[in-house]
Amino acid sequence: MSKEKIILGIDPGTTIMGFGLIKVVGKTMSFMQLNELDLKKYDDHYLKLKLIFERTIELIETHHPDEIAIEAPFFGKNVQSMLKLGRAQGVAMAAGLSREVPITEYSPKKIKMAITGNGNASKDQVAKMLQSLLQLKELPKNLDATDGLAAAVCHFYNQGRVSVGKSYSGWASFVKQNEDRVKK
């Protein structure tokens, strides 16, 4: 009998955090859920980070994912946006690490490539491909939720490959892989 595994995919953001869950049995994946945490109504950046952390913990405690796949921030021109996105990703990762759920991070290009075969695909193209792959009846209004689901599907496709994104199995693993960035 094949072991069942649940993968939580997260597209971090301080305006909207998208997430999706898939179940994997053997070599078959199936859709569980996709949704988003809408943070637009909050002005306080620190409150947004707290809500991202709490929602990620809630998802972990509700669905017991075996692994988390998270989209890495892309390097844009706006440094402030990049900083906020990095913080959002960091608190989502901290939530997973605090519950000892292994995390793998993927670049947006790698996720798009895994889903569509094109690293420059649009959000809409990624969403339509996911709709076809997972037989989703309808797509959400905001495509941040499908971006989170795409991270989970990307992780499924990359299982067993030697070179995936950065992976962390816990705090010690994170610190060891980032020793050059940790002050002593």
Residue 147 makes CB contacts below 8 A (sequence gap 6+) with 11, 18, 71, 111, 123, 126
Known catalytic residue: 147? no
Catalytic residue among 36, 67, 105, 144: 144
Residue whose tokens read 């706006």: 78
Q: Is 11 annotated as a binding residue?
A: yes
Catalytic residue among 11, 67, 105, 147: 11
User: What CA dihedral angle connects 24, 26, 28 and 29, to 10 degrees?
Assistant: 10
Q: Is 71 annotated as a binding residue?
A: yes
Known catalytic residue: 44? no
Catalytic residue among 36, 71, 105, 147: 71
Known catalytic residue: 144? yes
- Per the annotation, binding residues are 11, 71, 144
Catalytic residue list: 11, 71, 144
- Per the annotation, binding residues for Mg(2+) are 11, 71, 144
